[in-house]
Amino acid sequence: MSLISPACRDALQTWLQGQKALNGASDHTISAYRGDVADFLAFMTEHHGAPQGLGPVARISVSDMRAWMARTRSTGVSARSLARKLSAVKSFYRWLAEREGFEPTAVLSTRSPKFTRKLPRPLAQDAAKAVLDTVELQSQEPWIAARDVAVVTLLYGCGLRISEALGLLGRDAPLPAVLRIVGKGNKERLVPVLPAARDAVDKYLHLCPYPKEADHPLFRGVRGGALNPRLIRGVMASVRAQLGLPASATPHALRHSFATHLLEAGGDLRAIQELLGHASLSTTQTYTAVDTAHLMDVYERTHPKA
């Protein structure tokens, strides 16, 4: 950040602290925001040939924005990534304009590049069941096999993110019929827990060599510490290799599968939004596209063209 003026550097740091404290942004999100906005400010320094203090930064023009976007695209950045970077810059400018009292129109009016959103890639229902049946075969240690089955069952059966499943504490077990989950942005939601998920967790706790402690992670690693999500990703990699599943069959794909299979069964989109903890319904609506694609595939296979 050597190309950024001290005033802009301090402003960026203050904004990032606010994003973490007030909006509950994750460390990964904060790191991405820092890099995106810092790169933008560094470009403006090079573009104008001098460090840009808060005054010059407030006077950025439409042509400045076009120059930044053109330079960024020329480095091989995809339209999707550029859209993400622009979103971070706009968020920073909204905050900075309110604090410094200037009009950020040039930045906020910049149009995001168009790109095709990637659809979630869920597993078919029979494939999801095969995954659950195969996970326990990945370890010869009974308690570890039971642990992995419990985690994967929570991902598919409750639609949890892997961070949410591994964030459960000893005090959360035995799992209730309805679990209170704190997800992204400290957003709380209530998630029904299927009997199969409760049974899987109970079996793991019965076999686990470490005592259940209220303030310690529910899912333990071999040495008793918090279970590393990389281990679950590794288990899924082994399972998809055995079952011949695509690389998209990741732990997060089980969450996609949860949503898609609910929708296929006639689930209400608003209810699914609440279960997943999506802030926006538009995020959940991507599953309707997946469901439509599935129906069209079935149609094409059952009604082949003459």
Among 161, 220, 256, 261, the one annotated catalytic: 161
CA 40 to CA 265: how far, in whole Å?
46
Among 94, 216, 252, 294, the one annotated catalytic: 252
Residue 67 vs residues 70, 79, 82, 225: alpha-carbon distances, Å: 5, 15, 13, 49
Give the burial class of 84: count Cβ atoms within 10 A of its Cβ; 0-12 exposed, 13-18 middle, 19 or more buried: middle
Among 184, 189, 216, 294, the one annotated catalytic: 184
Among 33, 93, 156, 287, the one annotated catalytic: 287
Is residue 294 annotated as part of the catalytic site, yes or no? no
Is residue 287 annotated as part of the catalytic site, yes or no? yes
CA 216 to CA 168: how far, in whole Å?
9
Is residue 230 annotated as part of the catalytic site, yes or no? no
Is residue 203 annotated as part of the catalytic site, yes or no? no
Q: What secondary structure does DSSP assign to 187-217, as a single string?
A: -EEEEE--HHHHHHHHHHHHH-SSPP-TTSB
CA 73 to CA 225: how far, in whole Å?
43
Among 240, 255, 256, 261, the one annotated catalytic: 255
Is residue 299 annotated as part of the catalytic site, yes or no? no
Is residue 161 annotated as part of the catalytic site, yes or no? yes
Catalytic residue ranges: 161, 184, 252, 255, 278, 287
